[in-house]
């Protein structure tokens, strides 16, 4: 983009697969990764004479999302048929909500800004098409296509933001926050890589300060937060080029090509009349009772923003650390369990346990999770194990570098994931014994009389360097296990004395 001459206007449509046991309108399992076409029945295959029955749990999840996003819950909402023809949709229509969605007019707090949520509505997912055989055939270069209907009829909640987002970074922050909220309220496993969270973006440009919206394009096929930001960045640059050449942006749907790092035209944007919506005649209106909505409201768990604020003040950790804890799946649960285990032990480690735990969890532990792709709950180091490590540091058994080594070993499964066992096996315990360390200091100084003389008579600059030299020698002598505080004190005393 050329300088600051354009303002980005971005709106996002997030499709969230709801983690119900069964599909939206039938009893087939809602599960990922099964043999193709094993989770199907007459209803989700759209066979003649079959009738849909609405999944109560899916509605409850939609109400939870509405509650978390401060939406108005419609007292009455209805389902529509959205008609279009595609092989992965067996009925040739999708049951969705159109002008009367279950949730409307909400918001999500993202950093300092409140981003509007236009609506959230229930709909069924489509099946999946796979193009196979690389013979350069007519279907995307493939010989033929296979269709898997296991996903057909899986419940989706489509959450549509208002065009309130002003940059790729803000779009990314919105999805991150929304993902944490959806995870915290237990309605979805929010895995972008498995498609249980899918994001489409609308973007247009306008001169700064202008009220009028420019022509927008819709971008599809972004499979990670990183691709979302990259795609928006690219598309903003492309639109700026078009506008600056004096041409008009064409309203269309564009496909993000991750490898090429660009978008390309997919099709001209459909208008709603292209879908010939009409009310679904086989379903009654959805009328969630006041009692039901009250029950949902009363059972709402703590939301990430509130949890972040609580951890910030209770543990005295940084804003960044608290943010990382609540926005990484399962991480805050892990950290809270570790802190609880430290406190339960009832020794001096309880003071500052939150800060110590947050430090390990958002540092070494998170790096390990990112590297291995594991979930916190699957680590060989349990929260109780981390609590053990924190206590070993607090009582002086382990120095910080030794603790780091033990943590690495525990994460690799050594010692059954028990830091205490690893310390015993490797003989790693920090040495704080004064007499033992005094002997080491004396021996090192005796072995370097010339350096000791220079230290005692030398200039200031040299003294600092020599001091470091002695410390290095005694540390090496203790194989890194000497307690640095005790060693420093003994060194000072011995060098100042005889
Ligand atoms: Zn079915």
Q: How far is the CA of 41 from the centre of ligand 1 (A)?
A: 4
Q: What percent of the chain has pLDDT over 70?
A: 97
Handedness of CA 204, 205, 210, 215 (dihedral sign): negative
Q: According to the model, what pLDDT value does residue 430 have?
A: 80
Question: Ligand 1: distance of its center to the CA of 139 in Å?
Answer: 28
Tell me phi and psi for residue 34, to 5 degrees.
-80, 170
Once rounded to an integer, what is the mean pLDDT over residues 460-474?
A: 86
* The pLDDT of residue 349: 79
> In the predicted model, is pLDDT for residue 3 greater than 60?
no
Q: From 474, 395, 386, select the one nearest 430 (Cα to Cα).
A: 395
Residue 20 CA to ligand 1 centre (angstroms): 13
Cα 357 to middle of ligand 1, angstroms: 46
Distance 379 CA to ligand 1 centre (A): 36
Distance 487 CA to ligand 1 centre (A): 71
User: Ligand 1: distance of its center to the CA of 150 in Å?
Assistant: 8
Q: Identify the residue whose tokens are 């979930």.
A: 375
Give CA separation, 129 vs 90, 152, 225, 365, 381, in Å: 12, 11, 24, 38, 40
What pLDDT is recorded for position 479?
Answer: 82
Distance 22 CA to ligand 1 centre (A): 8
Half-sphere exposure of 232 (CA within 13 A, CB side): 26
In which residue are the tokens 């209770």 written?
314
- The Å distance, Cα 121 to ligand 1 centre, comes to 21
Q: Is the CB of residue 282 less than 8 Å from the CB of residue 52?
A: yes
Q: Where are the beta strands (DSSP E) in 6-84?
A: 7-17, 72-73, 80-83
pLDDT at 137: 67
Distance 308 CA to ligand 1 centre (A): 40
pLDDT tens figures, 15-60: 999 999 999 999 999 998 899 999 999 999 999 999 999 999 999 9
Ligand 1 centroid – CA 46 distance (Å) = 9
Tell me the C-alpha to C-alpha distance, in Å, between residue 288 and each of 56, 372, 448.
Answer: 10, 43, 84
Give the Å distance between the CA of 153 and the centre of ligand 1.
Answer: 7
pLDDT at 144: 85
Distance 151 CA to ligand 1 centre (A): 10
Confidence tier at 498 by pLDDT (50, 70, 90): low
Q: Where are the domains of the chain?
A: 7-297, 302-426, 434-496
For residues 110-116, give the mean pLDDT: 94
Cα dist from 44 to 60, 95, 294, 363, whole Å: 21, 11, 32, 46
Single out the residue of 63, 330, 11 nearest to residue 190, CA to CA. 330
Ligand 1 being an ion, which residues bring their Cβ within 5 A of it?
A: 26, 28, 41, 43-44
- Give distance in angstroms: CA of 34 to centre of ligand 1: 14
Ligand 1 center from residue 349 Cα (angstroms): 54
Does residue 467 register a pLDDT over 70? Answer: yes
> How many whole angstroms from 313 Cα to the centroid of ligand 1?
48
Q: Distance from the CA of 124 to the center of ligand 1, in angstroms?
A: 11
Q: What tokens does 414 get?
A: 């050594």
Find the 149 Cα to ligand 1 centroid distance in Å.
Answer: 9
Identify whether the C-beta of residue 414 lies closer than 8 Å to the C-beta of residue 393: no
**How does DSSP assign 179-240, residue by residue?**
HHHHHHTTS----GGGTSEEEEEEEEEE-TT--S----EEEEEE-SHHHHHHHHHHHHHHHH
Residue 327: pLDDT band with limits 50, 70, 90: confident
* CA of residue 67 to ligand 1 center, whole Å: 29
397 band by pLDDT with thresholds 50, 70 and 90: confident
**Best CATH choice for the domain 434-496 from the list 1.10.510.10, 1.10.150.130, 1.10.3720.10, 1.10.10.410:** 1.10.10.410
- For residue 153, is pLDDT > 80? yes
Angle at 424 between CA 346 and CA 339, to 5 degrees: 30
How many residues make up the chain in this entry?
498
Q: At 133, is the pLDDT very low, low, confident or very high (cuts 50, 70, 90)?
A: confident
Confirm if 201 and 12 have CB atoms less than 8 A apart: yes
Distance 18 CA to ligand 1 centre (A): 16
C-alpha to C-alpha distance for 196 and 443, rounded to whole angstroms: 64
pLDDT score, position 218 = 96
User: φ and ψ at 177, to 5 degrees?
Assistant: -65, -45
Q: Please tell me the distance from the alpha carbon of residue 400 to that of residue 246, in angstroms, as a whole number.
A: 61
Centre of ligand 1 from the C-alpha of residue 78, in Å: 21
Q: Cα of 200 to ligand 1 centre, how many Å?
A: 27
Q: For residue 351, what pLDDT band results from cuts at 50, 70 and 90?
A: confident
The pLDDT value given to residue 140: 67
Residue 120 Cα to ligand 1 middle (Å) = 24
CA of 39 to the centre of ligand 1 (A): 6
44 C-alpha vs ligand 1 centroid, how far in Å?
Answer: 4
Distance (angstroms) between ligand 1 centre and the Cα of 28 equals 4
> Residue 269's pLDDT band (boundaries 50, 70, 90)?
low
Ligand 1 geometric centre to CA of 45 (Å): 7
Compute the distance from residue 432 Cα to the ligand 1 centre, in Å.
67
Contact 228, 175 (CB under 8 A): yes
Say how many Å lie between the CA of residue 24 and the centre of ligand 1: 9
Angle at 448 between CA 443 and CA 451, to 5 degrees: 135
Distance CA 353, CA 357 (A): 6
Distance of CA 13 from the midpoint of ligand 1 (Å) = 26
Confidence of residue 141 (pLDDT cuts 50, 70, 90): confident
337 — pLDDT class (breaks 50, 70, 90): very high
């Amino acid at each position: 983009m050329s300088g600051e001459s354009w303002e980005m206007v971005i709106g996002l449509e997030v499709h969230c697969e709801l983690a119900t046991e069964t599909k939206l309108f039938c009893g087939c399992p809602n599960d990922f990764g099964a043999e193709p076409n094993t989770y199907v029945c007459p209803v989700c295959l759209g066979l003649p004479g079959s009738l849909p029955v609405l999944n109560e749990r899916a509605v409850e999840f939609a109400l939870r999302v509405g509650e978390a996003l401060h939406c108005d819950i419609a007292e009455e909402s209805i389902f529509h048929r959205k008609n279009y023809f595609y092989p992965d949709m067996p009925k040739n229509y999708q049951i969705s909500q159109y002008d009367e969605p279950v949730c409307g007019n909400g918001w999500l707090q993202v950093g300092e800004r409140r981003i509007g949520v236009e609506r959230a509505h229930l709909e069924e997912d489509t099946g999946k098409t796979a193009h196979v055989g690389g013979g350069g055939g007519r279907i995307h270069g493939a010989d033929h296509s296979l269709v898997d209907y296991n996903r057909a009829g899986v419940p989706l909640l489509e959450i549509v933001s208002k065009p309130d987002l002003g940059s790729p970074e803000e779009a990314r922050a919105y999805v991150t926050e929304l993902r944490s909220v959806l995870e915290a309220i237990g309605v979805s496993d929010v895995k972008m890589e498995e498609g249980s969270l899918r994001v489409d973006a609308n973007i247009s440009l306008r001169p700064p300060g202008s009220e009028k919206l420019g022509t927008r394009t819709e971008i599809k096929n972004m499979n990670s937060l990183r691709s979302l930001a990259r795609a928006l960045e690219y598309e903003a640059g492309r639109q700026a080029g078009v506008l600056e050449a004096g041409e008009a942006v064409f309203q269309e749907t564009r496909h993000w090509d991750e490898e090429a790092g660009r978008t390309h035209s997919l099709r001209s944007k459909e208008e709603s009349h292209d879908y010939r919506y009409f009310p679904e005649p086989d379903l009654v209106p959805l009328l969630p009772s006041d009692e039901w909505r009250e029950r949902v409201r009363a059972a709402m768990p703590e939301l990430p923003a509130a949890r972040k604020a609580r951890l910030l003040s209770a543990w005295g950790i940084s804003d960044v650390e608290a943010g990382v804890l609540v926005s990484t799946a399962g991480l805050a649960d892990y950290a809270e369990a570790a802190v609880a285990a430290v406190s339960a032990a009832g020794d001096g480690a309880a003071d500052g346990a939150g800060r110590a735990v947050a430090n390990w969890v958002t540092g070494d532990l998170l790096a390990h999770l990112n590297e291995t792709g594991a979930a916190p709950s699957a680590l060989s180091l349990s929260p109780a194990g981390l609590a053990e490590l924190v206590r070993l540091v607090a009582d002086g058994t382990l120095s910080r570098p030794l603790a780091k080594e033990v943590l690495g070993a525990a994460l690799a499964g050594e010692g059954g994931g028990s830091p205490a066992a690893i310390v015993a096996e490797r003989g790693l315990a920090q040495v704080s014994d004064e007499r033992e360390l005094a002997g080491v200091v004396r021996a090192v100084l005796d072995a370097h009389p010339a350096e000791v003389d220079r230290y005692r008579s030398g200039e200031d600059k040299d003294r600092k360097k020599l001091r470091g030299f002695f410390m290095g020698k005694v540390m090496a002598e203790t194989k890194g296990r000497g307690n640095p505080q005790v060693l420093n004190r003994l060194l000072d005393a011995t060098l100042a004395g005889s």
